[in-house]
Structure 1
Amino acid sequence: MATAAPAKDPLVDAALRQLADISVPAPVSMMPQTWAWAALAGVLLLVILIAGWRWYRRWEANRYRREALADLKDIEARLSAPATRGEALVALPVLLKRTALAIWPREAIAGLHGTGWTGFLDAHSGGPVFPIASARFFEEAEYRGKTALSAVPEAEARAYIATARHWIEAHHVRP
């Protein structure tokens, strides 16, 4: 048994023909609608540029630290062999002096030696004072030869390296 389709109502048919699709509004613009948003974006961009410039200047100003730490890594690599330990330990105070000369005036640094030199390192160390053994090493290392320094135990030499690393990373440059 098939059911017959209901008869169409002429009024409903006429009403359905008059219907139109839903009109969709234009998409909302993502551009700022007032000048204040543009001003805020300009200020934000200016702040980002200034922060980037300051970061870059600080990064450039600390280039000497990065180079000194790379040289220290090379010196540290030569500590494990007793044959090269002496020359590595001779290079350690030279590295600290070269690092200090990169930032302070030559007249203030070049003449320092002995306790004056370690006093300078201690005053600008940016943290706890130099251990007494490390201070004594940095006072006397330039007067010892490679053969005398090659007799230094590796653990003690690594302590001197750690002290030098701390000074390079943390020293304060005061105007």
Structure 2
Amino acid sequence: MDFETIPLKDLHFPPVIDWWPLAIGWQVLIIIIFIFCCYLLHKMYLRWNENKARRIAIVELKALKIKFENNKDPAFLIKQLSELLRRTMLAYVDRKEVAGLTGTEWLEFLDRGLEEKYFTLGIGQLIESLPYKNLDKHDKDIDIENLIDIVLKRLKTPIQGGIS
């Protein structure tokens, strides 16, 4: 028997299955994943935008620190730190709650959410009292680096009852 003389036809393979168009289940899954990614991006943008005042305040704090290193005027620095804290807190909490606070109430507000009472019991008290005192007697005793670190910690820590 001669195999070359047998009338056989070549094998015919079915066409290759294309990737597109996908089945409806895959299309729905892709749409759901796309919507979820858009939602996450939107939430990340909102979170980033909420922290805008905090980022600006931290940059201003660094600039104040550089100014202080140049002119060595603690009264000016403490006054500027107080103003910076007030402006930043007004960005996160209702104006009615923050604008009228003075004295120990203001310091207690600044301590909200911090692990220690840096402002009511610590060096943070200087922010409330020192701008109105004669600094000649107090120049040697002020730990400006520690005060700046406390203000930075306050700026970085979310306020309880306010926006995180």
Candidates 79, 93, 111, aligned match of 2:68: 79
Structure 2: stretches of 5+ with no match in the other structure: none
**Runs of 4 or more above 4 Å deviation:** 22-28, 147-150
For 2:86, give the aligned amino acid. K
Q: Point out where structure 1 has 5 or more consecutive residues left out of the alignment.
A: 1-10
TM-score, normalising length from structure 1?
0.74
Residue pairs, 1:1-175, within 5 angstroms:
28-31=17-20, 33-81=22-70, 83-125=72-114, 127-130=115-118, 132-144=121-133, 147-148=135-136, 151-152=139-140, 156-174=143-161
Mapped partners of 1:94, 1:43: distance in 2: 47
Measured against aligned partners, the alpha-carbon deviations of 1:57-107 in whole angstroms (never above 9, x if no partner) come to 111111110111111010111232453443222211111011111122222
Aligned residues: 158
Percent identity of equivalent pairs: 21
CA RMSD of aligned residues (A): 3.0
Report what 1:8 is aligned to. none
Cα deviation for residue 143 of structure 1 reads: 1.9
TM-score by length of 2: 0.78
Q: What is the one-letter code of the residue matched to 2:32?
A: V
